[in-house]
Amino acid sequence: MNGFPVGILGTGMYAPERRLTNQELETMVETSDEWIVSRTGIRERRIAAPEQATSDLAYEASLKALAAAGISADQLDLIIVATITPDMFFPSTACILQEKLGAKKAAAFDLSAACSGFIYGLANAAGFIATGAYQYALVVGADCLSRITDYTDRNTCILFGDGAGAAVLGRVPEGRGFRSFELGADGSGGELLNIRGGGSRLPASEKTIAERNHYIYMNGREVFKFAVRVMGNAAEEALRKAGLGKEDIDLLVPHQANIRIIQSALERLNLPEDKCLINVDRYGNMSAASIPVALAEAVEEGHVREGDRLVLVGFGGGLTWGASVLVW
């Protein structure tokens, strides 16, 4: 990367208290704990309380990231919230978060890249800091997928959960921080994973609600194939841009959609499971929150040491993908 070296100064995560277990899902749709665990690796997910919206989850994660970084909210120049479940169409969840935090001088905007959103957000924020335009940025991945999940559809309702993860970015010493970003999109796959209703194409109406167009639609088999292909490709390309090889990876922090997708990425990168943060069993897929929550847990649990080389990699609706190599 050109410009000033930029890295992560602090991370934080928040997951709502309520757990939705496979056993509970067995009472809601025709499924079984055995099927869910063997096909996805997921055992439970967190569900936001009725009074919680995405910005509330984002706020909790942000407070922890700011404390870890030793930065106060009024020092922030920029807030980016990656989400597909904003509190409302507008104002942006980033603006709502800016107000909650009291980050008075920060510019704020939301970013829509589904499960790849956090990595897209990191790339954006890192660019602003690398040029010297900004000093500190807060990047949040936050989603309340329970609000857009159809709990009568067994193909999707077993997968998703709610949560938020945050990172404060700033300048770091030479030789540390982000080494590369690899972002990509393939809009031709947009119909594989989407919410059709409620936008300008198909405004919310009694008909869109009756047809359940306000819920996530997914072609799981096709998304699975795409994910397996793109996770390895994106990680390898990010490594190549950073001038590193697979053998240089100390920790992989992948998007947590399905244990089988993560295992295929590990195979492709020749990595053992202990070089990978896996929490899909406890949270399911939290979309933009998955990678920053996994990263925050890796830091909290002492899996990340100074000088370690991390690869973050994810994929999602759009279709989109993103990977980054950074030296901690």
118, two tokens: 């956090």
CA-wise closest residue to 145 among 306, 284, 315: 284
Q: Which two tokens stand for residue 158?
A: 């077993």
In angstroms, give the least distance from the CB of 131 to ligand COA.
Answer: 31
Active-site residue 214, yes or no? no
Alpha carbon distance, N-terminus to C-terminus of the chain: 15
Pair of tokens at residue 114: 């589904």
Q: By CB under 6 A, tell whether 113 contacts ligand COA.
A: no
Told to check if 220 binds ligand COA by CB under 6 A, we report yes
C-alpha closest to that of 213 among 227, 224, 199: 199
Under the criterion CB under 6 A, does residue 39 sit at the interface with ligand COA? yes
The contact pattern for ligand COA, residues 165-194, with x = CB under 6 A and - = no contact, is ----------------------------x-
Instruction: Say whether 124 is catalytic.
Output: no
258 sits near ligand COA (criterion: CB under 6 A): yes
* Subset of residues 47 to 106 that bind ligand COA, contact rule: CB under 6 A: none
Which string of DSSP letters, residue by residue, matches 32-91?
A: -HHHHHHHH---EEEE--TT--HHHHHHHHHHHHHHHHT--GGG-SEEEEE-SS-SSSSS
Give 3-state DSSP helix, strand, coil % of the chain, rounded to 5: 40, 25, 35
Chosen residue from 19, 33, 35, 246 binding ligand COA by CB under 6 A: 35
Q: Does 223 bind ligand COA (CB under 6 A)?
A: yes
Q: Which two tokens stand for residue 196?
A: 């059709």
Residue closest to ligand COA when measured from CB atoms: 220
Q: Choose the binding region for ligand COA from 54-62, 134-142, 154-162, 231-239 (rule: CB under 6 A).
A: 154-162
Give the nearest distance from C-beta 100 to ligand COA in angstroms: 27
* Residue 115 a catalytic site member: yes
Selected from 76, 115, 168, 269, the binder of ligand COA by CB under 6 A is 115
Question: What's the closest the beta carbon of residue 26 comes to ligand COA, in angstroms?
Answer: 9
- List the structure tokens of 152: 């009568």
If you write DSSP's letter for every residue of 171-226 in order, what string do you get? E--TT-EEEEEEEEE-GGGGGGEE--SSSSSS---HHHHHTTTTS-EE-HHHHHHH
Strand order in the sheet with 251-254: 177-185, 320-327, 309-316, 251-254
**Given the DSSP bridges, would you call strands 162-171 and 177-185 parallel, antiparallel or unpaired?**
unpaired
* Single-letter amino acid code for the residue at 44: E
Compute how many residues bind ligand COA; rule: CB under 6 A. Answer: 20
Per CB under 6 A, the list member of 20, 111, 158, 286 interacting with ligand COA is 158
Q: Which CB, 98 or 285, lies closer to ligand COA?
A: 285
Q: Catalytic residue, from 95, 115, 157, 276: name it.
A: 115
Nearer to ligand COA, 178 or 315 (CB): 315
Positions in 273-302 near ligand COA (CB under 6 A): 285
Binding footprint of ligand COA on the chain (CB under 6 A): 31, 35-36, 39-40, 115, 154-155, 158, 193, 218, 220-221, 223-224, 227, 257-258, 285, 316
Q: Which residues are catalytic?
A: 115, 255, 285
